[in-house]
Structure 1
Amino acid sequence: MTTVDAQVTDRVHTAPRIEARDITVRFGGLVALSGVSLRVPPRSIVGLVGPNGAGKSTLFGVLSGLLTPNAGAVLMNGVDVTKKSAQARAAIGMARTFQHPELFLSLSVREHIVLADRIRHSRRRIWSDLVTGRGFGRPASAEVERVDALVDALALGAIQHRQVGDLSLGSSRLVEVARALAVEPDIVLLDEPSSGLDIRETEELAAVLQRVVADKGVSLLFVEHDVDLVLRICDAVHVLDFGVKIAEGTPAEIRCDPAVRAAYLGEEIVDSDALSRAESASEQEAFE
């Protein structure tokens, strides 16, 4: 390996998986984002939160290539991709999920993962798999191993042969995550992954996200309304309000930030132990 090659390799391994630099987006006279910056390091989970209308979805659109900013830049692994399409960004290491799962209802869980794996490793087979109507052909042994590994990692073994149209919302979200990981991305953008999930499903999702970062080395950036989930599993959190970033830091720093508390009116960022104590005191008073 030459010195130049080594420098390039080192940059790829140490540069943020995705980075927004001073992003500004205007819709007519409305400033949706104003000078917003964000970095997602390798092998990390980063959360993006904020009240409704804060600009989270707009920033996600810019990062994923669906929106072009009026000012600023987007970089992946140190390379400027501001002008690249969503498809081009996917080809160089980006995957994403959506708030409402985008799945083929007639395909099984495993077929979704196989299809994504073939997009990454055997793109020519997509024609024979789907377009010609001949179904999924015999898999190669390496493909079976990769798909099995994802099925195991996301605990989908019991439902891998069921059609996704028959699944719960929580299971459907796990299928979306598995499909995103099957293309072996560097960065996955998760849009409201816990939306519609119950407490048990949210806990399972949190465990999966932490496990895939540890096992696969992927980085995750997710927009999420469940602030408690974000504060429990993220390495760093960025908070938007009215298109401006008002805070960034570790979960502990965000939990104590007065600007964040003001933005949420004290309703989302709360000490769960203090809440439990307050509820117990209230119940005791009610019986006295």
Structure 2
Amino acid sequence: MSASSRLSAHEVTMRFGGLVALDSVSIDVPQRSIVGLVGPNGAGKSTLFGVLSGLLTPTSGTVTFDDADVTRASARTRARLGMARTFQHPELFSTLTVRDHIVLADRIRYSRARLWTDLFTGRGLRRPPADETARVDDLIDTLGLGPIAHRAIGDLPLGSCRLVEVARALAVEPTLMLLDEPSSGLDVAETAELAAVLQQVVADRDVSLLFVEHDVELVLRICDSVHVLDFGVKIAAGTPEEIRNDPAVRAAYLGEDVTSQEKAR
């Protein structure tokens, strides 16, 4: 792990019985960077995300977050250290509004003692202090959620719910965000807007992003570096341009021996 790293995984192996889901995988997320994690279905991306976020304990290897060894630390401990994540399937409260979700996340960061009142009586949500209102308004504006801020999550399409998850994660002011398929369910315009938001977040909020995506073009467009997994093994890592031209990556996605074909030309 370099001095400028926010998160580092070193030689991580994950076995489930006789299945090796990850085989000596290393990955590094520098400070103030956007790092992509891609690979075909079954490559081990979700397993690595589970290890990095604390949902899974690796069979071997280490995970370091802001100079602390968190290999065996729980997801809650990592969250308190400044790690936040979203999920492939949004984990939201269907009866709460968009604004309520961001308010609750803000209070986890700034006023944890109020959460009992907020969740079980609703009274706290109706009496926000001015500084909280300013922070929540800022996030709503940043992610373009103003038109739906007072709508219940259960009434919104999947794409909007994903934007709410990103806003909720940002509300706890993390230093690292793990984003699981953040563009899933978004149309082309929404994906472009999300990409711009993520880049602005890194520039303005001193946060690093690591995200799994099936939209490889999105990853190559906005990431500083990209790691590629295939069958639990890291087959490539580098800049977007290096990944775009890597024969092993092209072979993994195209299902053919690109290297051999190029040699035959």
Quickly name the TM-score band, shorter chain normalised.
over 0.9
- Percent sequence identity over aligned pairs: 73
SS in 2 for 1:105: coil
| Deviation of the 1:266 alpha carbon | 7.0
CA distance in 1, matches of 2:239, 2:99: 36
1:85 aligns with 2:74: yes
Distance 1:15 1:246 in 2: 24
- Once the two structures are superposed, what CA deviation does each residue of 1:73-109 show, in whole Å capped at 9, x if it has no partner? 0111111001110011001101000111111111111
Quote the Cα distance in structure 1 between the aligned partners of 2:214 and 2:122.
40
The match for 2:38 among 49, 60, 66 is: 49
**Quick one: structure 1 residues 266 and 199, their matched pair in 2 at CA, closer, same or farther if it must change by over 3 Å?**
farther
Match of 1:214 in 2: 203
Is the counterpart of residue 102 in structure 1 residue 91 in structure 2? yes
* Contact kept in structure 1, 2:22 and 2:47, CA below 8 Å: yes
Matched letter for residue 188 of structure 1: M
Match of 1:71 among 46, 60, 76: 60
Q: CA deviation at 1:32?
A: 0.6
Q: Distance in 2 between matches of 1:147 and 1:135?
A: 15
Q: Displacement of 1:149 after TM fit? A: 1.1
Task: Confirm or deny: 8 A CA contact 2:114 2:124 kept in the other structure.
Answer: no
Partner of 1:263: 252
Residue identity matched to 2:168: R
Matching of residue 160 in structure 1 with residue 134 in structure 2:
no
Regions of 4+ moved over 6 Å: none
Which residue is equivalent to 1:40? 29
TM-score normalised per structure 1: 0.86
Give the CA RMSD over aligned residues. 1.6
Query: Distance between the aligned counterparts of 1:126 and 1:219, measured in 2?
Result: 27
**Partner SS for 1:130:** helix
Unpaired runs of at least 5, structure 1: 1-10, 268-288
Structure 1 residue 133: deviation in Å?
4.6
Compare CA radii of gyration and give the structure with the larger one. 1
For residues 116-265 of structure 1, the aligned pairs below 5 Å read 116-265=105-254
CA separation in 2, counterparts of 1:38 and 1:262? 21
In 2, Cα distance between the equivalents of 1:103 and 1:154? 17
TM-score for both structures, normalised by structure 2: 0.93
Aligned partners of 1:71, 1:195: CA distance in 2, in Å?
32
Cα contact 1:15–1:78 (8 A) shared by 2: no
Distance 1:18 1:41 in 2: 7
Q: Which amino acid aligns with 2:99?
A: R
- Cα separation, 1, equivalents of 2:216 and 2:251: 14
The match for 2:104 among 93, 115, 125 is 115
**8 A contact 1:15–1:77 mirrored in 2:** no
C-alpha distance in 2, partners of 1:166/1:144?
A: 23
Q: Which residue does the alignment assign to 1:283?
A: none
CA contact (8 A) 1:51 1:241 kept: yes
Counterpart secondary structure, 2:228: strand
Q: Which moved more, 1:247-256 or 1:212-221?
A: 212-221
Cα deviations by residue, 1:39-62 (Å, 9 ceiling, x for unpaired): 111111000000111100000000
Query: Quick one: distance in 1 between partners of 2:10 and 2:63?
Result: 6
- Gap runs ≥5 in structure 2: 257-265
How far residue 215 of structure 1 moved from its aligned partner, in angstroms, is 1.5
Shift of 1:144: 1.1
Aligned length: 256
Q: Distance in 2 between matches of 1:266 and 1:161?
A: 47
